[in-house]
Amino acid sequence: MSTQAQIPGKGQPSSSTAKTKRSQREQARTVAIVVLAILLTLFAVFNLKDVKVSYVFGSGRAPLIVVIVISVLFGIVLTYLAERLQQRKKGR
């Protein structure tokens, strides 16, 4: 075993095109994440107005963004459960 520190890029096959593509992918991914974060932040800021929410057993007020997020999460859970039920029926 060698006690020398490994130098990145030494002893490994290097391809300038592979590094360029990876770098471009990473940059594109970073830009996409930043843009998405900005859009989500703006969406939340523009939807802070309180709205009346009617529940099965009453009503109340909540920020619109909270209502939207809860609705999306509820939809995700229902979709997941429906897919699992469909998979169980196919498995029989």
> For the chain, how many structural domains are there in total?
1
What is the span of the domain harbouring residue 56?
17-91
Average pLDDT, the chain: 82
Phi, psi of 8 (to 5 degrees): -55, 135
pLDDT at residue 41, as a whole number: 86
Residue 48: CB partners within 8 Å, gap ≥ 6?
A: 63, 64, 65
DSSP β-ladder status, 50-55 and 58-63: antiparallel
- For the cut 60, the answer to whether the pLDDT of residue 22 exceeds it is yes
Most confident of 15-24, 44-53, 74-83: 74-83
State the pLDDT at residue 18.
56
The model's pTM is 0.56
Q: Is residue 55 part of a domain?
A: yes
Report the pLDDT value the prediction gives residue 44, as an integer from 0 to 100: 83
Say how many Å lie between the first and final Cα of the chain, rounded: 56
Mean pLDDT of 73-86: 93
86 vs 13, residue with greater confidence:
86
Mean per-residue pLDDT, 14-34: 77
Which helix (H) or strand (E) segment holds residue 63: the answer is: strand 58-63
The pLDDT of residue 10 is 56
Classify residue 86: in a domain, yes or no. Answer: yes
